Amino acid sequence: MSNLLTSSIGQKLLMSISGLFLILFLFVHLILNSFLLLDGVFGFKETGQMFNAGVHFMGTNPLIKVIEPTLALGFIVHIIYSLILTFQNWKARGPQSYASGNKTSGVEWASENMLVLGIAIFAFLAVHILNFYMKMKGFIAWEGGEVEFPFFGTMAKGENAYALVNGTFKSLPIVILYVVGSVALAFHLAHGFWSAFQTIGWNNVIWMPRLKWISNIVAIILGGGFTVIALAQYLFF
Ligand code: HEM
């Protein structure tokens, strides 16, 4: 166990596994956030009933209450080990290098800028948590009020999360921040996804090209999905 935490390959393994776990979270997060679009498309933008029901489900489900601290731990592990590995690599090879991936002259831009992209995503995330999470969890006051929405065949009451998100996306600078954050996320994932599988050991000649394709698809779905939601909320809803 101590080897896992201290050896360079153990640390890369932890970074890769925590990264893949975070990607899984992002897919669930994107599915929930896509209800913001469905509410608009199906004419529920006054009540935001689909998104509010989804948020209510996530907020009241006991499993999610366990997953939430695990998610926080995943972020911490991923960030700490990416910093440790990057600085070890700088010390060993000078500041031109980065801990993940073999460097060749033709290596793509994203792989050389993983730390910068990670820092941009972290900055975005800090604002994002202040925008939504801190308000929904009652750390920052907001004027959303409660609404009723259909929930598994009955009516439930909960916070008007739709109004919070919709109101937040009325600001152009905020929308630009979300677009920049999502694009940085897309580039980070375009390299990070296949690189994580390579670290785990899934790096044979057949699967590496396939994983690189899948990485691009994951990056486009997640980065593009969050971008479209933020822009659609600003422009149409
Ligand atoms: C259109 C874009 C996005 C929207 C509308 C959105 C919406 C939200 C909302 C409403 C919450 C609070 C949920 C609650 O407390 O019940 C939340 C939390 C969170 N979001 Fe986002 N999000 C977006 C993009 C992102 C991106 C790109 C990331 C990661 C890079 C991210 C990571 C998180 C995290 C870590 C939390 C806290 C954990 C949680 O509450 O599930 N979000 N988001």
Q: Ligand 1 center to residue 32 CA distance, Å?
A: 9
Q: What is the pLDDT of residue 3?
A: 67
10 exposure class (CB count in 10 Å sphere: 0-12, 13-18, 19+): middle
Which one, of 224, 236, 237, lies nearest residue 178 by Cα? 224
DSSP 8-state symbol, 37: H
Instruction: Find the 97 Cα to ligand 1 centroid distance in Å.
Output: 32
Nearest CA to ligand 1 atom 8: 132
Residue count (the chain): 237
| DSSP reduced 3-state for 48 | coil
Q: What are the CA-CA distances from residue 31 to residues 28, 54, 80, 113, 159 (Å)?
A: 5, 10, 28, 28, 19
Rounded distance from Cα 28 to ligand 1 centre (Å) = 10
Q: How far apart are CA 237 and CA 234, in angstroms?
A: 6
List pLDDT tens digits, range 55-108: 999 989 999 888 888 998 999 999 999 899 888 888 887 655 544 455 444 446
Pair 168, 132: CB distance under 8 Å: yes
* Residues in contact with ligand 1 (CB, 6 Å cut-off): 26, 29, 33, 55, 58-59, 121, 125, 128, 132-133, 136-137, 161, 165, 178, 181-182, 185, 226, 229-230
Mean pLDDT, rounded, for 48-61: 94
The CA 217 to ligand 1 mean position distance, Å, reads 21
Please tell me the least confidently modeled range out of 87-91, 172-176, 215-219: 87-91
Q: Which domains does the chain have, with CATH numbers?
A: 2-235 (1.20.1300)
Q: What's the whole-model pTM score?
A: 0.91
Which residues neighbour 86 within 8 Å (Cβ) at sequence distance 6 or greater? 98, 99, 115
* Strand ranges, E, within the chain: 146-151, 154-159
Q: Residues 39, 62, 77, 103: is their CA dihedral positive or negative? A: negative
- DSSP string spanning 78-132? HHHHHHHHHHHHHHHH-TT--SSS---TT--HHHHTHHHHHHHHHHHHHHHIIII
Q: Phi then psi for 155, rounded to 5 degrees?
A: -100, 135
Alpha-carbon distance of 121 to 61, in angstroms, equals: 28
Chain mean pLDDT for the chain: 89
Residue in 34, 76, 128 to alter for ligand 1 test, most ligand atoms within 8 A of Cβ: 128
Q: Which residue has the higher pLDDT, 176 or 143?
A: 176
Atom number in ligand 1 closest to CA 230 = 1
